[in-house]
Amino acid sequence: MTYAKTANLRTNPNNPRAIRKDQLNKLVKSLQEFPEMLEARPIVIDKEGIVLGGNMRLKAAQLAGLDEVPVFVREWSEEKDPEFIIKDNVPSGEWDWEMVGNNEDPEQLQEWGMTIPWDNTEGEDKQEDTTNTPKQCKHCEKILP
């Protein structure tokens, strides 16, 4: 297992995820009570120490006062980073939909397993056949497949 100083790691400025303060506080408490759980899911970083997976865990570890955390230094090509970031976060969490919509291809996101919210209608009560109507993301202006 490889470890890195939390002070030497940086959260990803292009991370499309957010965490509410109450969720972050729960994560901090979890890490204080059971810091070894990080070994089961090390923080994934690039060679420069930028977090690709585990931005919230890094924040929580820093707030919990952990000086070091387990890390996995990615060995795949940089071009695969966006795919990893999305696939790593599909199961849960909150998304910055504008960032995701503006930086990633919606079709690719769906292939990676992400469900994208979109709005087919102008009003909530509108009941029309939208089978062939283009879908638009609720949070950005992109047209979805």
Count helices and strands (H / E) in the chain: 6, 9
Q: 56: helix, coil or strand?
A: helix
Q: What is the pLDDT of residues 81-97, one digit of tens each?
A: 888 888 887 665 577 77
Percent of the chain with pLDDT over 90: 36
Q: What is the pLDDT of residues 26-67, one digit of tens each?
A: 889 889 988 898 999 999 999 999 999 999 999 999 999 999
Token pair recorded at residue 42: 């090390």
How many C-beta atoms surround the C-beta of residue 36 within 10 A? 8
Token pair recorded at residue 145: 């497949």
Predicted TM-score (pTM) of the model is 0.62
Place of tokens 């940086």: 10
Contacts of residue 143, defined as CB under 8 A and 6 or more positions apart, other chains included, come to: 106, 134, 135, 136
